[in-house]
Structure 1
């Protein structure tokens, strides 16, 4: 089932065409990597989907809704979760309290609390932390966590809204190689179990080729290729403008190249 459909999406800044007539689809349960060299238009495309930027032209349809130009919070309420290149948590709060804040926001209770917030959504928060392997750290401050653990907390926060679509901007930035692959393997498992579509940008090609079901490649704002890992690895234009020889990137687990 097509969850997200991007059609002829374009955006310019002061006459510079950052995204130029880009179209692609994302299925439920699928991991789609949006890749390309610096300046390719990935972030601009990503931010139009998330609502941080209004498209100059084109359509963005999510789960039957036209979301082009909608505010980020309204897109979030339709079932779109998001993680950021620089992990966004409240360092002054515990891991559990961060989760409870996410759940309170989902229920629109941030500005109309009655009683103690400490008791709100605790069981559900712990269930979400269990999904990402962070229950043992529930009472620790986010400020003292290892960076890989902060990324896991951020993933749990994104799942608090029961998203149908998860947008992940450079999810493994700043992480060690083992942490990178563990986080994306966890994301892939949760996407399949919960039928969540995942769109992510990523510069780590070992992560992309190991975990993405589909890749979309941008260069100078235009889509130059899309397909699975094998197709992208062997695409002459992609190898020329982005991957080089591509010889250093291991194939996706179970793939025959």
Structure 2
């Protein structure tokens, strides 16, 4: 059984069909990129999987659980993590405290008569920060961090509920090329080590072709293509609808994943 099975997923807003009968699967230990031009239905599809939007029809199965009709927080507690296009952290709190809050939420223990919330799960929070390379900044306020480091903290927060599925919305948005490569290399390592399935949206095609195992492409709410990088690069519907007239992906210098040796290529020309 696939980790995530999406079947016949549709969403209408009045007379507009934002997502139209979309189906796909995601396996454990796999990075699946959800692609498409503006208005293709990516965000709508993504938010239905997360429970933020109810579908008009269709099924979203996470292992043995049907997610349709569930609240986002209940989906989170099943083991579905989430990061956002604009990093969601508490700027006035320390890096460590941000991760501690996620752990406290996971255990549904906001306070104790004998132990203040700020002292709970400190060791586990620190271990998560070590995983994402932010342990040295544990005592710093999130508000003073560089944006790339905030994204790493957000990833640690997403890992706090020990997810089997991680939803990443534009994970490298606003980051420099070096930071993008480092974050996705880190994500690839965690996926491999912990067998997490990742569904992500992304506009940086160098990231997509370097790190995605598979890709699905939407246009006007419909799924028009799916497959590996070579399949997507050579699909005429993708070239026309997604990349635009006269623009196709051509091979370029490979990006090297220092964490796991995973490489990819592709630039928009």
Q: Which bin holds the TM-score, normalised by the shorter protein?
A: over 0.9
Pair 254,91 (structure 1): closer, same or farther in 2 beyond 3 Å? closer
Shift of 1:110: 1.8
After superposition, the C-alpha distances for 1:164-187 in whole angstroms (9 at most, x for unaligned) are 000000011100011011101100
- Between the aligned partners of 1:48 and 1:67, the Cα distance in structure 2 is 9
- Between the aligned partners of 1:247 and 1:82, the Cα distance in structure 2 is 32
What is the aligned partner in structure 2 of residue 102 from structure 1?
102
Shift of 1:88: 0.2
What is the aligned partner in structure 2 of residue 247 from structure 1?
250
Shift of 1:255: 5.9
What is the aligned partner in structure 1 of residue 205 from structure 2?
205
Question: In the alignment, is residue 115 of structure 1 matched against residue 115 of structure 2?
Answer: yes
Give the 4+ runs in structure 1 shifted more than 6 A.
none
What is the aligned partner in structure 2 of residue 15 from structure 1?
15
What is the aligned partner in structure 1 of residue 233 from structure 2?
233
Maintained 8 Å contact 2:9/2:22:
yes
- Between the aligned partners of 2:175 and 2:32, the Cα distance in structure 1 is 20
Maintained 8 Å contact 1:85/1:171:
yes
What is the aligned partner in structure 2 of residue 131 from structure 1?
131
What is the aligned partner in structure 2 of residue 222 from structure 1?
222
In structure 2, the residue corresponding to 1:60 is in which secondary structure? strand
Note the residue ranges of structure 1 that are not aligned, 5 or more in a row: none
In structure 2, the residue corresponding to 1:53 is in which secondary structure? coil
Maintained 8 Å contact 2:81/2:161:
yes
Shift of 1:116: 1.8
After superposition, the C-alpha distances for 1:148-170 in whole angstroms (9 at most, x for unaligned) are 00000000000000000000000
After TM superposition, the structure 1 = structure 2 runs for residues 58-207 of structure 1, keeping only pairs within 5 Å, are 58-110=58-110, 114-207=114-207
TM-score normalised by L of structure 1 = 0.96
After superposition, the C-alpha distances for 1:38-89 in whole angstroms (9 at most, x for unaligned) are 0000000000000000010100000110001210001001000000000000
- Between the aligned partners of 1:21 and 1:169, the Cα distance in structure 2 is 21
- Between the aligned partners of 2:123 and 2:112, the Cα distance in structure 1 is 21
Shift of 1:118: 2.6
User: How many pairs does the alignment contain?
Assistant: 257
- Between the aligned partners of 1:51 and 1:63, the Cα distance in structure 2 is 16
Note the residue ranges of structure 2 that are not aligned, 5 or more in a row: 256-261
Shift of 1:119: 1.8
Pair 30,187 (structure 1): closer, same or farther in 2 beyond 3 Å? same
- Between the aligned partners of 2:178 and 2:219, the Cα distance in structure 1 is 29
- Between the aligned partners of 2:239 and 2:265, the Cα distance in structure 1 is 19
- Between the aligned partners of 1:58 and 1:251, the Cα distance in structure 2 is 38
